Chain A
Amino acid sequence: MYVSRRRFILVTSLIGLWLKCGRLLAAKNEPRDGTELGLGAWVDTLFPADERSPSGSALGVQAQILEKAAAIAPYQELLSAGVRWANAQAVACGAESFTALSLEAREAVVAEAEAMGIRKMPRLFFYHTLKDARSFYYGQAGSWSAVGFPHTPQPLGFVDYMEAPK
């Protein structure tokens, strides 16, 4: 089976993480619902709703990430571990879970993951979920009008291409 370079790097890095973090990952996985809920709050922090844009979860980004991860066991484990970590950060702040935090507080948790060393689990969780969330979020028409992308390239094309955008 042909494996793309990007997929190879992802899988090998995640396998490395999986081996390194055996203790953490040996803990019983949370049910999918728990991970999905936490991941929904996570993607809503990466892509919050405002007056022009829907949130990540409104476009089902977390479900698409989980669907992708279903075929990549180390990624599944990373998602569970990442959500557990985010929940732990929330609990340390006195909240019940990551989902219970305000947007500003969730942003602080995401920023903490982003600032960690490149091989740390929360940083890997941040990196891979952000990369996938960007693809899944902007891969849906619901996100396009806010950035000024009018429609799929076909069937209409862009026949006003020689004029300044209106």
Chain B
Amino acid sequence: MSADEYDVVIIGSGAGGGTMAYALSRRKWRVLVLEAGPSFDPSKDYKLHTEGWEQQQFPHKPSSEGRQTFAELQALDPALSDLCSWNSVEGRLNKQSRRLPFKYHHVRGVGGSTLAFTGESHRLHPESMQMRSRFGVAADWPLTYDMLEPFYCEAERIVGVAGPADSGARWRSEPYPLPPHELGYASQQIASAASTLGMKWGPNARAALSEPYDHRPNCNYCANCNRGCPRTDKGSVDVTFLRKAVASGYCTIRSGVVVTRLEVGADDRVTGVHLVNAEGHDEFIVTPKLIVACGAVETPRLLLASANQYAPDGLANESGQVGRNFMETLAWSSSALHGENVGSFRGLPADSISWDYNAPDAIAGVVGGCRFSTGVAEAGLNGPVAYAQRIVGGWGRSHQAAMREAFGRILTVGAIGESLPNTGTFVDLDPNQVDSNGVALALIHSQLEPMDLERLTFMRTTARAILQATGAGDVVEEYGSYDFFSSTHVFGTCRMGTAADDSVVDSFGRSHRWQNLHIMDASIFPSSGGGESPSLTIEALGLRAADHIAGV
């Protein structure tokens, strides 16, 4: 197919772009996916079978990480030193007086950040979708959980989600396609400890196959989903939605293609995209319909960088909301050494979870909930290098003895909480720095508000209490969002809504003004939820939007 033969161009191939590619190509729409990063071959590029498996978190390739810059972050309050990150080897990890930008964790590649995600497959708590009308914060979703539920089911079937029968606050019209994973031995210790505190702790919904499914093998519990799954049992977008899209014969993926600007006409329609192709040459591709799915940092960057005579403040920014309402990952983890070797380097990451405090009013005196889960792998404490660098320390004979004593005993309780928008947290264009194509970098501003810190304090206190109830010894490492910006889940910078004056897109991700422009990633979330991982919700939104676009 030549460039002018596509019915739709999609920028980005992660959870949003990949889902749209699948859902439109199966209806025989001719789809072109433009991906800035490279493609990854799970059997060759992921390194879990090599001695050096622990040296890298995810085996990035050149160009598989974008660059962002950060505005100066807030000063740290000495009264909140309990919220600072530390470990028993290095002491305080942030030795400055201000919060530091660690990283926006993402992957530029075919499959997007799902290549490196843990694969938690969460539905949003229904009450988290009405934060403005119920609590006066963030914005209401322009659709309900009930409207999204059938699409959650469809996304779960495509991904192959393994989850529990108990649906809790999230009603289900059908069971998960696969039975839940059995809890790992280390997780069993945490589950039993949580129950002594009156907490309900059970299997997590996971995009990792508990049985062979859809020509993919079951998980073998290597505990390293975040380093890329070479078996393809993890339901990343490349081996699920995109595999099916390409198999349809109607989807073409071009990797290594960086879109630099969107072009519009006088008729409130996008006409095409300017890009730099894999050979470094400029191209312009005409498209009758455009879907932008670059994530909540890069999507607003592209729209703002596409300002033109018809949209002087940035494309689709008539409301002034593009880049605003940025919500980050409010996270905490506490780790301690259990009294016995529990072999915690094994198993499925985040195999179990407690939703007890997930509802937006579940934490006393705080608006916005959180969830707790097992977190050894997410903390990166599942190999000997990490133990030596962060937990055991020392050197010589005493170090070797301590390593033998400690290895396999780490227990980690992780927590992720609601992130609410505020005026000090947003994404705009860096006035001073550009990428290799001359496009301004995204400049991230982040400000934690008192309510965020109260939520974080609750997360810390509860995580410590759970660890203590396991009988573990002193905490040996804690890491949190108070003194580091370190975000995997980002939201809100092109939020959806019913009114054009305070939102960027409608409930189908379509720009209120630009009728052939859709956005499909977590930038359209009006609120973040109480710690739910966003990929399944993005996929459900994408399936729903594709039905609408295709006139189903």
The interface of chain A, by Cβ under 8 A from chain B, is 2, 5, 45-48, 50, 52-53, 107, 110, 114, 130-131, 134-135, 137-141, 143-144, 146-149, 152-165
B384 interface residue, CB < 8 Å from A? yes
Are B389 and A134 in contact, CB atoms less than 8 angstroms apart? Answer: yes
Are B384 and A144 in contact, CB atoms less than 8 angstroms apart? Answer: yes
In chain B between 17 and 68, which residues have their CB closer than 8 angstroms to a CB of chain A? Answer: 46, 48-55, 65, 67
Q: Which residues of A contact B183 (CB under 8 A)?
A: 162
User: Chain B interface mostly helix, strand, loop or mixed?
Assistant: loop
Q: Which residues of A contact B223 (CB under 8 A)?
A: 153, 158, 161
B321 interface residue, CB < 8 Å from A? no
Are B221 and A165 in contact, CB atoms less than 8 angstroms apart? Answer: no
Q: Which residues of A contact B408 (CB under 8 A)?
A: 148-149, 165
Are B55 and A139 in contact, CB atoms less than 8 angstroms apart? Answer: yes
Given contacts A131-B389, A134-B385, A134-B388, contact A153 B222 (CB under 8 A): yes
B243 interface residue, CB < 8 Å from A? no
Whole-angstrom distance from the CB of B378 to the nearest CB of chain A? Answer: 15
Within the assembled complex, what's the spacing in Å between the Cα atoms of A128 and B165? 51
Are B222 and A164 in contact, CB atoms less than 8 angstroms apart? Answer: no
Contact of A139 among B48, B52, B184 (CB under 8 A): B52
Are A148 and B396 in contact, CB atoms less than 8 angstroms apart? Answer: no
Given contacts A147-B403, A158-B346, contact A139 B385 (CB under 8 A): yes
Are B342 and A152 in contact, CB atoms less than 8 angstroms apart? Answer: no
Q: Which residues of A contact B182 (CB under 8 A)?
A: 162
Are A152 and B48 in contact, CB atoms less than 8 angstroms apart? Answer: yes
Are B220 and A156 in contact, CB atoms less than 8 angstroms apart? Answer: yes
In chain B between 192 and 248, which residues have their CB closer than 8 angstroms to a CB of chain A? Answer: 219-224, 227, 230-231
Whole-angstrom distance from the CB of A162 to the nearest CB of chain B? Answer: 5
Q: Which of A47, A144, A152, A164 has the most CB of B within 10 A?
A: A152
Nearest-neighbor residue (CB-CB) of B184 within chain A: A161
Given contacts A149-B383, A161-B221, contact A138 B388 (CB under 8 A): yes
- Render B142-174 as a binary contact track against A, CB cut-off 8 A, 1 for contact: 000000000000000000000000000000000
Are A158 and B388 in contact, CB atoms less than 8 angstroms apart? Answer: no
B341 interface residue, CB < 8 Å from A? yes
Within the assembled complex, what's the spacing in Å between the Cα atoms of A53 and B398? 13
Nearest-neighbor residue (CB-CB) of A147 within chain B: B407
Nearest-neighbor residue (CB-CB) of A4 within chain B: B103
Q: Which residues of B contact A140 (CB under 8 A)?
A: 51
In chain B between 385 and 409, which residues have their CB closer than 8 angstroms to a CB of chain A? Answer: 385, 387-389, 395-397, 399-400, 403-404, 407-408
Nearest-neighbor residue (CB-CB) of B66 within chain A: A2
Whole-angstrom distance from the CB of B407 to the nearest CB of chain A? Answer: 4
Contact of A110 among B67, B385, B396, B407 (CB under 8 A): B396
Are B185 and A154 in contact, CB atoms less than 8 angstroms apart? Answer: no
Q: Which residues of B contact A138 (CB under 8 A)?
A: 54, 383-385, 387-388
Known: A2-B65, A153-B53. 9 other contacts (CB 8 A): A138-B54, A148-B341, A149-B345, A149-B383, A149-B407, A149-B408, A154-B48, A158-B345, A161-B343
Within the assembled complex, what's the spacing in Å between the Cα atoms of A44 and B241? 51
Given contacts A50-B400, A153-B223, A154-B48, contact A161 B388 (CB under 8 A): no
Nearest-neighbor residue (CB-CB) of B340 within chain A: A164
Nearest-neighbor residue (CB-CB) of A107 within chain B: B396
Given contacts A47-B400, A152-B50, contact A110 B384 (CB under 8 A): no
The interface of chain B, by Cβ under 8 A from chain A, is 46, 48-55, 65, 67, 102, 182-185, 188, 219-224, 227, 230-231, 340-343, 345-348, 383-385, 387-389, 395-397, 399-400, 403-404, 407-408
Whole-angstrom distance from the CB of A67 to the nearest CB of chain B? Answer: 13
Are A161 and B348 in contact, CB atoms less than 8 angstroms apart? Answer: yes
Q: Which residues of B contact A47 (CB under 8 A)?
A: 395-396, 399-400
Within the assembled complex, what's the spacing in Å between the Cα atoms of A100 and B396? 18
Within the assembled complex, what's the spacing in Å between the Cα atoms of A46 and B394? 9
Q: Which residues of B contact A45 (CB under 8 A)?
A: 395-396
Q: Can you spell out 5 A-B residue pairs with CB atoms less than 8 angstroms apart?
A: A148-B404, A149-B345, A152-B50, A156-B222, A157-B222
Q: Which residues of B contact A107 (CB under 8 A)?
A: 396
Q: Which residues of A contact B53 (CB under 8 A)?
A: 152-154
Within the assembled complex, what's the spacing in Å between the Cα atoms of A144 and B388? 12
Q: Which residues of A contact B345 (CB under 8 A)?
A: 149, 158
Within the assembled complex, what's the spacing in Å between the Cα atoms of A83 and B51? 29
Are B185 and A164 in contact, CB atoms less than 8 angstroms apart? Answer: yes
Are B185 and A139 in contact, CB atoms less than 8 angstroms apart? Answer: no
Within the assembled complex, what's the spacing in Å between the Cα atoms of A149 and B384? 7
Nearest-neighbor residue (CB-CB) of A52 within chain B: B404
Are B389 and A146 in contact, CB atoms less than 8 angstroms apart? Answer: no
Top 5 closest pairs, chain A to chain B, by CB: A157-B220, A158-B346, A153-B222, A165-B343, A161-B347
Q: Which of B387, B400, B408 has the most CB of A within 10 A?
A: B400
Q: Which residues of B contact A160 (CB under 8 A)?
A: 343, 346
Are B347 and A162 in contact, CB atoms less than 8 angstroms apart? Answer: yes
Within the assembled complex, what's the spacing in Å between the Cα atoms of A122 and B71? 36
Nearest-neighbor residue (CB-CB) of A135 within chain B: B385
Whole-angstrom distance from the CB of B337 to the nearest CB of chain A? Answer: 14
Q: Which residues of A contact B221 (CB under 8 A)?
A: 157-159, 161
Within the assembled complex, what's the spacing in Å between the Cα atoms of A141 and B53? 10
Nearest-neighbor residue (CB-CB) of A46 within chain B: B395
Q: Which residues of A contact B220 (CB under 8 A)?
A: 154-159
Q: Which residues of A contact B343 (CB under 8 A)?
A: 158, 160-161, 164-165
Q: Which residues of A contact B184 (CB under 8 A)?
A: 161-162
Are B384 and A147 in contact, CB atoms less than 8 angstroms apart? Answer: yes
Within the assembled complex, what's the spacing in Å between the Cα atoms of A25 and B329? 46
Whole-angstrom distance from the CB of A51 to the nearest CB of chain B? Answer: 11
Within the assembled complex, what's the spacing in Å between the Cα atoms of A128 and B237? 40
Q: Which residues of B contact A146 (CB under 8 A)?
A: 400, 403-404
Contact of B51 among A134, A141, A148, A158 (CB under 8 A): A141
